[in-house]
């Protein structure tokens, strides 16, 4: 589990453990929460944006 996922989970009010299923949606990863969908982009290089992926 990455640090970004842990921070996003805390910000979204999710409690550990994080869901086992994470969906790919273009350059984003998304997970269903009680409040809706939570999505994020994980850059693999410094300065990378979703448009670059």
Q: How confident is the model at residue 47 (pLDDT cuts 50, 70, 90)?
A: very high
Q: How confident is the model at residue 2 (pLDDT cuts 50, 70, 90)?
A: low
Q: What is the pLDDT of residues 3-22, one digit of tens each?
A: 677 777 677 776 556 677 89
Tell me if 53 is assigned to some domain.
no
Tell me if 16 is assigned to some domain.
yes
Domain boundaries, position 18: 3-48
Tell me if 26 is assigned to some domain.
yes
Q: Which residue has tokens 């999505």?
A: 39
pLDDT at res. 41: 93
- Give the whole-number percent of the chain exceeding pLDDT 90: 43
Sign of CA dihedral 18, 24, 43, 8: negative
pTM score: 0.56
pLDDT at res. 33: 85
Per the structure, how many domains does the chain have? 1
């Amino acid at each position: 589990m990455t640090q970004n996922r842990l921070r996003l989970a805390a910000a979204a009010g999710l409690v550990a453990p994080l869901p086992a299923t994470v969906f790919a949606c273009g350059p984003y990863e998304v997970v269903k929460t009680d409040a809706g969908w939570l999505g994020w982009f994980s850059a693999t290089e410094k300065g990378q944006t979703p448009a670059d992926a």
